[in-house]
Structure 1
């Protein structure tokens, strides 16, 4: 099965679009994937044949969407989220910013429950201007057509939250996090120590 998957850049681009959508037609998939309609059709037909995608005809158009009965669909989505998708791009862009001490994605996106309509929640702690961070987040939102929410705390704010024993901090450290920047173990230790 794997030798039939991920054979080309076009297939990776097409999969990255359709795995997280609620059904798109050929031309929209091609546009979002940055490939020709011919390339998109070839890859889509292959993915339908493998049982990863299903089709539905609406009027004159055929819509393609992920087959929820595919036994490895969630694994494939998780793989793409971690390697090709929006989370990877967020990580690449935010790691380039100076002044961030800790940064991670939390919530449904970090738990691997990401869909076309999912928003992405990020906590950023450090010395970075809100204006600069908002500018980068806005660019990412535009390119992925997805809402990205961020919480920005200074290191002083973070220490205050620790002293207050913020339930928010305690709750997120018990869940999946997609780590972007900073020492994860140190962060977890600081939060756990605050509750001892």
Structure 2
């Protein structure tokens, strides 16, 4: 939880909606997704709507909430949430659990800032780590963030070799925009 977001519930809400910016959700639906009390969610969403971060619309008798993309600090708040509670922060925390992971980074549409609400998150992980356990924890993270994540793993030797092949997958990826989660390319 960041000092900016205030409460654990607010952090969950912001993380969920910034990870799924096209979503419109009703309170009970969010209660199930976030495993949170609908009454508390309703109060927090009302506060966030008063602050201008969320907007609501009514469809029949159901009130739907979504982020207000016209909020003046939308992009700043998105960056804070992503780096702490959202995709980046969660993935940083996951890879930091494994001492054998020497390098990890996000690439693709998310790293380029061109992701859509249903875009998957592409990750490269370099090092020696228990892949089955990592995969299980990544699937749990996917479920929490409601976003699919795919990872390619390499040993350090494989990564160095593959990244030097001109026109090869890794060579192209590391020349593009990436978001480092752990380590750096100079190690």
TM score, norm. by length of structure 2: 0.82
Report deviation, 1:69: 1.6
Gaps of 5+ in 2: none
- Shift in alpha-carbon separation, 1:174–1:163, aligned structure 2, 3 A: closer
Structure-2 change in CA distance of 1:54 and 1:166 (3 Å): same
Cα pair 1:18 1:24 within 8 Å, conserved = no
C-alpha displacement of 1:155? 2.2
- The C-alpha deviation readout for 1:76-128, integer Å capped at 9, x for no partner, is 11110111113212211221124222111122323445554231110012223
CA contact (8 A) 2:119 2:147 kept: yes
- The C-alpha deviation readout for 1:14-41, integer Å capped at 9, x for no partner, is 2222333311001122333343222111
Residue 78 of structure 1 corresponds to 79
Contact 1:17 1:29 in 2 (8 A): no
8 A Cα contact 2:15 2:85, kept in partner: yes
Further displaced range: 124-133 or 91-100: 124-133
Mapped to 2, the partners of 1:151 and 1:165 lie a distance apart of 19
Match of 2:123, SS state, is: strand
Stretches of structure 1 that go unaligned for 5 or more consecutive residues are 188-196
Specify the structure having the higher radius of gyration (Cα): 1
Contact preservation (8 Å) 2:101, 2:125: yes
Number of matched pairs? 183
Aligned partner of 1:18 in structure 2 is 17
- Partner of residue 96, structure 1: 97
**Which gives a bigger RCO, structure 1 or 2 (Cα 8 Å, sep 6+)?**
2
| Structure 1 SS opposite 2:98 | coil
Quick check: 1:17–1:32 contact (8 Å CA) kept in 2?
no
* 1:186 corresponds to: 186
